[in-house]
């Protein structure tokens, strides 16, 4: 009886990290996956599995305490799930085994590196947001941050996201 209570109290709040092995990891910090990136990932996999991960951004905490207002909304989570589902459909149509997940985190680079390690990916393709230079300087380079965390055995490449129509006309 006491052991059941202890197990219930120590039960993890989140789902366990999926560990299906994948040759390539397609990652995004919330941006849609470009089709050319999906094709490149399928080619790099060479018939092996492909994993897809996207980040639903958590915006911090108030004085170290969790705050539900800082978590992604249901709508934001649905958008991320739809992006992963659309990418998985493209990969399945090519006849390649694939898995997807949405991760809620404050630090996108750390979480993507953790997923790459858990899946044993040898190649990580990351969507680089189409942003002005000043924003990239302030927010940092996600590709370098992931490369620093995964080590030398994993190749990390950035794939430029398409510019939104409003920015492309300028």
Residue 111 lies in a domain: yes
Q: Where are the beta strands (DSSP E) in 37-91?
A: 50-57
Domain assignment present for 4: no
3-state secondary structure 122-161: CEEEEEECCCCHHHHHHHCCHHHHHHHHHCCCCEEEEEEC
84 within 8 A of 30, measured Cβ to Cβ = no
Residue 36 forms beta bridges with which residues? none
**pLDDT score at 79:** 95
In a domain, 11, yes or no: no
What pLDDT is recorded for position 63? 67
Give the chain's domain count: 1
Task: Give domain status of residue 10, yes or no.
Answer: no
CATH code of the domain containing 117: 3.40.50.620
pLDDT the model gives residue 13 = 57
Mean pLDDT by 10 residues, the chain (170 residues): 60 69 93 94 93 87 66 89 95 94 90 93 91 80 91 90 56
pLDDT of residue 163: 58
Position 62 scores a pLDDT of 60
For 29, the domain range is: 18-132+141-161
Whether residue 5 lies inside any domain: the answer is no
Is 3 among the domain residues? no
Residue 133 has a pLDDT of 79
């Amino acid at each position: 009886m006491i052991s059941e209570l202890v197990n219930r109290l120590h039960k993890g709040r989140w789902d366990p990290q999926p560990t299906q092995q994948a040759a390539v990891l397609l990652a995004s910090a919330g941006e849609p996956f470009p089709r050319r990136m999906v094709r490149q990932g399928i080619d790099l996999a060479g018939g092996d599995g492909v994993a897809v991960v996207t980040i639903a951004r958590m915006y911090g905490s108030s004085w170290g305490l969790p705050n539900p207002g800082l978590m992604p909304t249901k709508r934001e989570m649905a958008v991320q799930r739809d992006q992963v589902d659309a990418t998985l459909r493209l990969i399945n149509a090519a006849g390649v085994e694939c898995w997807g997940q949405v991760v809620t985190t404050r630090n996108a680079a750390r979480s993507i590196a953790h997923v790459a390690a858990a899946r044993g990916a040898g190649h990580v393709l990351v969507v680089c947001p189409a942003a002005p230079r000043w924003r990239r300087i302030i927010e940092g380079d996600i590709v370098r941050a992931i490369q620093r965390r995964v080590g030398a055995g994993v190749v990390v490449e950035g794939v430029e996201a398409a510019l939104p129509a409003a920015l492309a006309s300028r």
